Amino acid sequence: MNISTPQIAAYPHRTAGHCGSGAMRDLLDWAGLGFDGPPGEALVFGLSGGLSFQYIRSPGLQPPIYFVGRNADMELDLCRRLGIRVEARRTDDPAEGWQWLADSLDAGRPVLIHTDIAELPYLRVRLSNTRHSIVAVGYDRERGVAWLVDNDREPVQEVPLDALARARHSRGFPDPNRHATFPMTFPHRLPDLLPAARDAAAQVVRQMREGTGPLFDPDVLPAGAVSAGGLDGVRAFADDLARWPEHLDADTRAEAIRALPVFVEKAGTGGGLFRRLQSGFCEEVAQKTGAPGFVEAARAYGECADAWSRLAASAAGESPDFDAVRRAAGALPGAEEHALAALEQVLAP
C-alpha cells in the first residue's frame, strides 16, 4: 500500500506479525533495498538475529506472566548487520523528542519510534508495552495530527499529537520509553546475504545458549518474581507452569492460561510467531544461496513453532484442561533444543 503525506511520498507499508520486523521491512523497502526484490518480514526478522526467549512471572503483572521471544536490540542489530547507520536517541524533554521526529520528517525521511500501545488510540488496548515500534511518516502541526504506520493496521493512522506525545513518554511496562527515536541512514546496497545470515544465526545460538540479550532487565523485577532467558528460560517456563497451582490462585491461574494464546501467536512476544518467522528466514536463505543446513533449520523451527502453537491451542476455549496445557508446555524445551542444534549446523563454512 502506498501513501502520500506532507513529508513522505509513496511510503510502502504492509501488515506484519511483529512491530519491529514489520517496521524494518517497510523501511528497507522505502530505501529500495533488498535481496532480489523487497525483503519479506521473515527474512528481516532472521537477519536481525533477534530470536531469543525470556520468561517472567511477577507479582503486580496483569496477567501475572509475560514471555518474549526476541532480544532487546533487534532493530539496532539488524542495522549493524546490514550497514545501516542508526542513532538511538532518548530524552525526557518532550520538546527535544518532538524535534528529533520533526527534523527527520522535514528532511523527507520516515523515522522509527517507540510508543506505548496503551496510549495509541487506534489500538484500543489496556496492556502496556512501551517498546512498540512504529514508523512516523508525516505530521500537520496546524491540525495537530501525525501520520503513523503500524504492523497491526493496514491503513495509515492519523493520531492526535497529544496522544502521540503520551505514547512516546510513557512510564508503563516494562520501562519508560523516553521519546525513543531512531534516525537511520541507509547504504546504497546491502551486504552479501549468506555471511549476514550466518552471523545472525550465530547471534541466535549465543542468545539461546547463554541467555543473553534479555528484553527486560530482571534486576528491576520485585521480590518473588521468576525470570530466566534462553533455553534455560524455556525450561523455566515449562517447569514453572507445571507449578502454577502451587503459586497462583484459581482466578489468577485462569487469567495466566487465557493469556497464553495471545503471547504465543499475537502479542509480539512470539513463541509460535517468532519461531515461524525464523523458519521462513532459514527457508528463504536456503532458496537464495543453496547453503547447506538452512533447509533442516527451517524444518526444525517450523516444528518448534508448531509445538508452541499446540500450547496456544490447548489453552484456548472456555475451560482449558490444565493437564493438557502442562503437557504441551513440557514438550517445548526439547523442540527448542532440536531447532537450535539444527541452526548451529548452518554456521559451518
What's the average model confidence in pLDDT over 35-56? 96
- Per-residue pLDDT of 87-96, as tens digits, reads 999 999 999 9
**Mean pLDDT of the region 266-276:** 82
pLDDT digits (tens, 9 = 90+) for 21-34: 999 999 999 999 99
99 within some domain? yes
Q: 325 and 264 in one domain? A: yes
Q: What is the mean pLDDT of residues 149-154?
A: 94
User: Cβ contacts of residue 291 below 8 Å, gap of 6+?
Assistant: 194, 197, 198, 285, 346
Q: HSE-up of 130 (CA within 13 Å, CB side)?
A: 17
Establish if 139 belongs to a structural domain. Answer: yes
317 falls within a domain: yes
pLDDT at 8: 82
The chain-wide mean pLDDT, for the chain, equals: 93
Query: At residue 88, what are phi and psi to the nearest 5 degrees?
Result: -105, 100
Instruction: Report if residue 49 sits inside a domain.
Output: no
In angstroms, the CA 233 to CA 236 distance is: 5
Specify whether 340 is located in the same domain as 216: yes
Domain end marker among 152, 185, 218: 185
- pLDDT surpassing 50 at residue 292: yes
When pLDDT is cut at 50, 70 and 90, the band that residue 5 belongs to is low
Residue 171 and residue 207 in one domain: no
* Terminal C-alpha separation, the chain: 39
- Among residues 185, 216, 242, the one where a domain terminates is 185
Q: Is the pLDDT of residue 164 over 90?
A: yes
User: pLDDT for 209-247, tens place per residue?
Assistant: 999 887 777 777 888 889 999 999 999 999 999 999 999
Domain boundary among 154, 185, 216: 185
Residue located via cell numbers 508525516? 138
Distance CA 54, CA 340 (A): 16
Three-state SS letters, the chain = CEEECCCCEEEECCCCCCHHHHHHHHHHHHCCCCCCCCCCHHHHHHHHCCEEEEEEECCCCCCCEEEEEECCCHHHHHHHHHCCEECCECCCCHHHHHHHHHHHHHCCCCEEEEECHHHCCCCCCCCCCCCEEEEEEEEECCCCEEEEEECCEEEEEEEEHHHHHHHHCCCCCCCCCCCCEECEECCCCCCCHHHHHHHHHHHHHHHHHHCCCCCCCHHHCCCCCEEEEHHHHHHHHHHHHHCHHHHCCHHHHHHHHHHHHHHHHCCCCCCHHHHHHHHHHHHHHHHHHCCCCHHHHHHHHHHHHHHHHHHHHHHCCCCCCHHHHHHHHHCHHHHHHHHHHHHHHHHCC
Question: What is the chain's alpha carbon radius of gyration, rounded to the nearest angstrom?
Answer: 20
Residue 304 has pLDDT above 90, yes or no: yes
Average pLDDT over residues 162-185: 95
Residue numbers of the domain that contains 106: 2-32+85-185
Say whether both 221 and 130 belong to one domain. Answer: no
Residue 123 and residue 213 in one domain: no
- Does 221 lie in the same domain as 170? no
208 assigned to some structural domain: yes
- Do 160 and 224 sit in the same domain of this protein? no
What is the rounded average pLDDT of the residues 118-140?
92
> Same structural domain for residues 202 and 238?
yes
Cell numbers found for residue 191:
551486504
- Whether residue 122 contacts residue 165, with contact meaning beta carbons closer than 8 Å, is answered with no
- 157 and 211 co-located in one domain: no
Q: CA–CA separation, 18 vs 347, rounded Å?
A: 26
Same domain, 171 and 253: no
CB 209, CB 235: distance < 8 Å: no
Same domain, 213 and 276: yes
Q: Is residue 37 part of a domain?
A: no
Residue 260 belongs to a domain: yes
CA 333 to chain centre: 21
Whether residue 115 is found in the same domain as residue 209: no
How many independent structural domains does the chain possess? 2
> Within a domain: residue 58?
no
Are the C-beta atoms of 115 and 186 separated by less than 8 Å? no
